[in-house]
Amino acid sequence: MTKGLHKTIVSLTVFAMTFMYLLVPAQAAMLYSASVTLSNPAASGSGTHAFSMKVKTPATIKGIKLQYLKAPSGSSQNPTSLSYAGAPANATSLTGLTGNWAVDKTTDAATDIYYLSKAAGDALIEDVTIAFSITGVGNPPISDGNTGCTTQTGDVNDTTGTCFIKISTWDTDTIATMQDETTNAANIKDSTTVSFVVTTLVTMTATVDSSMSFIVAGVAAGQAGANDAGLVTSTTDPSTYSTLPFGNLTVGTPQLMAHKLYVKTNAQNGYTVKLRSTTDDTGAAADANGILKGQYAGNNIDGFSSAFGAPGVWASPTNEEANVNSGFLGVNSNDTGTIFNGDAALKWAAMENDTWNTVMTKGGPDLGAEADAHIVSYAIEVNVYQPADTYTGTFQYQATPTY
């Protein structure tokens, strides 16, 4: 009898303890390593909200509740402009979860609470990572009002806004149960709150202007190999950007001077640099009135005997008539894009009055670096029939880009 009574008491005690244990609501643990990644963090933009977290409480999870908030407190206002309207029927990109997790985007849409549910649930163990994505989510704007994510203290420009999402996992897929957290706290297995930031997009702008610069540089005296003919420039004076001082000429001895030309342009179709003599503006053809004129009327030095279109090897003037081919001024360029290419690379051509002739050209942009520069050389020579005098002339360059 005593033994039977003892057994009964033990059984009742065990039963009572078990029953009491079942009545005590389990406290939800914290989901951890939790985050939400926005594929497009732009304020009022639209994209995917990708959730990831680790489970703390082993359980079969049938429901997941996502509550969007303006502040971390669960009783906080929701950002009313957030929208799941474009979300698909099921969550995507599942990790740790299987099958179809249906997205309820209507029941509590007004308060931005969304539910994921699966009747069979997924049995999850502690520390397992679960992840899921909701596509087509419309982000809230940046606003301290009810519509948006809250601006930052001290951010005078309201560059970003912060919102929060309270995430809880449930052992039920019944939406009505998940709606009432107070009554049904025992059904919550884990929970946490994460934050996300919506940002202002930054506009980057730049203007690449059409650019063209043309530099004429003097060449030092006595410089060997100043052009591709390997000639030596005059040993008397250097040229400057605006002068070619050939100095005192000795009969039968040609003098050489040069200019170095730089073009820097982003003209996609390149450019040309042309040259003409402006010594005579009477409209007379070529060098009829000379390329250089003396102090005394009628004294002049003509262009080289080879026309610009057909350069020739340098030859001393041989005509025995004063001022008619008794002196020559010739031009050469080391730009093989011009007439001075191939066999003509080392030849000379006449400078011509009022006629533009190309001395430098390129079919595309040019950086204008040293390696891109070209030498335009000038040679002058007189014979004994050239009257003694001081001769001067002018010429000009013209650089034209083609865009």
Partner 1 sequence: MLKIAKKLIIFILIFGFLFVPKPTKANAITDLSVSLGNGLPITDDVHTLSFSLATTWALKKINVRYHKKDGDMNKPSHLSLNNSIAGAITGLGGTWSVDFTGAASGLVVLQNSEEVPTELTADTSISFFMNNVTNPELGDCSMTTMKDTCMVTIETVDSIENTIDVGSDTYDISEDPSLSFIVYGVESGTTTNGIVTSISTEFDRINFGNLAIIEPKFGAQKMRVESNSPNGYEVKMKLDGYIEALNPTYKIDPFGPYDVTWNDPGVWQSPFGSCDEVSCSDTGWIGANTSDTRIGGSWANASGKFGPVSSTSHLVMSSAGRDIGTDVYVTYGLEVNENQPPDNYAGTLIYDILARY
> Do residues 188 and 83 make contact, with C-beta atoms less than 8 angstroms apart?
no
Does 130 contact partner 1 by CB under 8 A?
no
- Dihedral pair phi/psi, residue 4, rounded to 5°: -65, -40
DSSP state letters, 57-69: S-EEEEEEEEEEE
192 makes contact with partner 1 (CB under 8 A): yes
Pick 71 or 94: Cβ nearer partner 1? 71
CA dist 370 → 217, 221, 374, 375 (Å):
11, 19, 9, 11
State yes or no: residue 154 binds partner 1 (CB under 8 A).
yes
Q: Binder to partner 1 among 2, 21, 24, 157 (CB under 8 A)?
A: 157
Tokens at 70, concatenated: 């303006």
- How many whole angstroms separate alpha carbon 110 and alpha carbon 137? 15
* 209 in contact with partner 1 (CB under 8 A): yes
C-beta closer to partner 1: residue 35 or 236: 35
Q: What angle do CA 229, 388, 395 make, to 5 degrees?
A: 50
**Integer Cα distance of 332 and 351 in angstroms:** 10
Minimum distance of partner 1 from residue 182's CB (angstroms): 19
Shortest CA distance to 364 belongs to which of 337, 345, 334? Answer: 337
Residue 153 interacts with partner 1 (CB under 8 A)?
A: yes
Nearer to partner 1, 195 or 336 (CB): 195
Pick out residues in 1-40 that bind partner 1 (CB under 8 A): 30-35, 37-38, 40
User: For partner 1, which is the closer residue by CB, 5 or 202?
Assistant: 202
- Compute how many other C-beta atoms are within 10 angstroms of the C-beta atom of residue 34: 18
Q: Shortest approach of partner 1 to residue 40 CB, angstroms?
A: 8
Region near partner 1 per CB under 8 A, out of 79-87, 118-126, 179-187, 195-203: 195-203
What's the min distance (Å) between Cβ of 369 and partner 1? 9
DSSP 2: H
Site residues for partner 1, window 57-86 (CB under 8 A)?
71-73
Q: Which residues of 160-189 are buried (b: 16+ CB within 10 A; e: fewer)?
A: bbbbbbbbbbbbbbebebbeebeebeebbb
**Per-residue tokens: 158:** 């309201």
Is residue 199 within 8 A of residue 164, CB to CB? The reply is: no
Does residue 400 bind partner 1 (CB under 8 A)? no
Examine residue 125 and tell whether it contacts partner 1 (CB under 8 A): no
193 binds partner 1 (CB under 8 A): yes
Q: What number of residues does the chain have?
A: 403
Question: Is residue 366 involved in binding partner 1 (CB under 8 A)?
Answer: yes
Query: Can residue 210 be called a binding residue for partner 1 (CB under 8 A)?
Result: yes
Site for partner 1 in 254-273 (CB under 8 A): 264-266, 268
* Cβ closest to partner 1, residue 35 vs residue 243: 35
Least CB distance to partner 1 at residue 146 (A): 20
Q: Based on CB atoms, which residue is closest to partner 1, 214 or 246?
A: 214
Of 126, 144, 155, 281, the residue at the interface with partner 1 (CB under 8 A) is: 155
Contacts with partner 1 by CB under 8 A: the residue count is 53
Q: Which is nearer to partner 1, 202 or 297 (CB)?
A: 202
Contact status: 152 vs partner 1 (CB under 8 A): yes
Q: Which of 49, 55, 56, 233 binds partner 1 (CB under 8 A)?
A: 56
Site stretch for partner 1 (CB under 8 A), options 4-12, 116-124, 147-155, 222-230: 147-155
Residues contacting 337, CB < 8 A, separation 6+: 360, 361, 362, 363
Tell me how far apart the alpha carbons of residues 205 and 203 are, in angstroms, rounded to a whole number.
6
In the complex, least distance from residue 179 CB atom to partner 1, rounded to whole angstroms: 23
Candidate ranges 1-9, 153-161, 373-381, 391-399; the one touching partner 1 (CB under 8 A): 153-161
CA distance linking residue 165 with residue 82, whole number of Å? 12
Rg for the chain, CA atoms, rounded: 45
Site residues (CB under 8 A) for partner 1, limited to 271-330: none
Question: Nearest-5° angle of CA 303, CA 307, CA 309?
Answer: 140
Distance, in Å, from the CA atom of 313 to the CA atom of 305, rounded to the nearest integer, reads: 10
Positions touching partner 1 (CB under 8 A) are: 30-35, 37-38, 40-42, 56, 71-73, 152-155, 157, 159-160, 162, 164, 192-197, 199-211, 264-266, 268, 364-368, 403
